[in-house]
Amino acid sequence: FLLYGRYCSQVEAAARRLDQLSTCTDLRMKLQDLAQCVNEVKRDNETLKQLTSIQLCLHNMPQSLAQFGRPKIDGELKVSSTERRSKVDRYGFLLDKALIICKRRGDSYETKDVVDLQSHQLRDGGLGPRDGKKWSHTFVLLDAAGLQDYELFFKTRELKKKWLEQFEMALSNIFPEDALADGHDFQMFSFEETTSCKACQMLL
């Protein structure tokens, strides 16, 4: 009977220790989650400053750039479209959800087009043969509804590669792999206040 009593007390002590360890693990996970959230908030504040400085240089842009996500890449390019077949000099700002196509005017930019990436597909290569000269490195944004396609021209193969990688990253953020599995419908969204997941309680 004494052995059984000692066994029970050891089991109780072990159970208490396991509870303590699991509480420590939960606490550590919560602290890591909080640290990650703080870093994300700092990064978001830097992003908002960057977007504000871009927004101040843009004319004819009534929408806030913040609604289009984080900046990915910007630079000079040439653009032709279904509407206008001839190449025109433009400056592009690629964000998570949109490509802002502008005409450069000194230190400012006049917004010419806002291309919603959600309604476009990316196709490497141009719409016709190219001669291998400057500005002959292209890829195409195809409108899913067939309304307005854009062909983007880059000065060098390296520039095209950089832009293509950023477009692919932006599109994979909009349409994550297996996003529609299990009936889910993921959408990129910015929360105004700190929010946590209802399922796992982790901060979003």
In a domain, 7, yes or no: yes
Tell me which residue of 106, 91, 107 sits closest to 152, measured CA to CA: 91
In a domain, 191, yes or no: no
In a domain, 189, yes or no: no
Sort 66 into a burial class: Cβ within 10 Å, 0-12 / 13-18 / 19+. Answer: middle
In a domain, 201, yes or no: no
In a domain, 202, yes or no: no
CATH number at residue 111: 2.30.29.30
Q: What does pLDDT average to over the chain?
A: 80
What is the total count of domains within the chain? 1
Give the DSSP H/E element, type plus range, for residue 115.
strand 108-116
In a domain, 66, yes or no: yes
CB-based contact 96:173 (threshold 8 Å): yes
CA distance 20 to 139: 57
φ/ψ (deg, to 5) at 126: -90, -175
Compute the half-sphere exposure of residue 123: CA atoms within 13 Å on the CB side of its CA: 14
In a domain, 77, yes or no: yes
First to last CA, the chain: 54
pLDDT at residue 19, as a whole number: 66
The pTM score is 0.75
pLDDT single digits (tens) 14-60: 666 656 656 666 767 776 776 777 777 788 788 888 988 999 999 98
Q: Is the pLDDT of residue 1 over 90?
A: no
In a domain, 69, yes or no: yes
Domain span including residue 53: 1-177
Take residue 97 and report the two structure tokens written for it: 């959800």
CB-based contact 118:99 (threshold 8 Å): no
